[in-house]
Structure 1
Amino acid sequence: MADDDLTVTMNTETHRFEVKLGAETAFAEYELKGDTIAFPHTVVPDAFAGQGVAGRLVQASLAYAKENKLWVKPTCSFFHAYIAKRPKLHELVHPDMREGLATP
């Protein structure tokens, strides 16, 4: 699959950012509460393995948060790890959750 085919869409009905490939859907669930968006769960089917889909989901989700001036709560372990490795993204994270992002 070409990188251009990895289109992430925001599905407000299911509260997910999604990428579709045939009958398969990779997604990152989100929960909006006030000025905060939490990301509790990410699922990437085997059909997407090794194509950078999870990273694209995180990038699109964080771009949405930034554009809408939302604090991010990365409760999903993948989101947390992705953000922890990228100090420039730490400013998006809700202050209550920043402590665990410190890199050694």
Structure 2
Amino acid sequence: MEVIVSENKEKKRFEAKVEGNLALIEYIRAEDKVYLTHTEVPKALEGKGVASSMANQVLQQIKDENLKLVPLCPFIAAYLKRHPEWKELLAKGYSV
């Protein structure tokens, strides 16, 4: 299943349309930080790796933009625990 993430700056979220459903990760950008606040995947897509694929792509974008991450969303925090290679993105004073 292909998951392609795009940024919807107007709605302040990353989006992916998969099988006709919309999955999203909401954020707040402030200075050099991106606060990931909420991840939502429709029931029809749960358990298919959509949120993990989205998280990976969003974290790569944060890295590419030389920004720091504040993982307020419980899913994103749990993802970082499972994928410690992304912990380098954490803003100073934050841990998972």
- The normalised TM-score by structure 2 is 0.92
Count of aligned residue pairs for this structure pair = 95
Contact 2:3 2:54 in 1 (8 A): no
- Runs of 4+ off more than 4 Å: none
Q: Does 2:43 correspond to 1:46? A: yes
Segments of 5+ residues of structure 2 without an aligned counterpart are none
Give the superposed CA RMSD: 1.1
1:91 corresponds to which of 67, 88, 93: 88
The structure richer in helix per residue is 1
Distance 2:76 2:68 in 1: 14
**Which secondary structure does the structure 2 equivalent of 1:95 belong to?**
coil
Sequence identity, in percent?
Answer: 34
> How many Å separate the matches in 2 of 1:85 and 1:49?
18
Tell me the SS of whatever aligns to 2:37.
Answer: coil
Higher strand share: 2
Alpha-carbon offset, residue 85 of structure 1: 2.0
| 1:66 paired to 2:37 | no
Unpaired segments ≥5 residues, structure 1: none
Larger Rg: 1
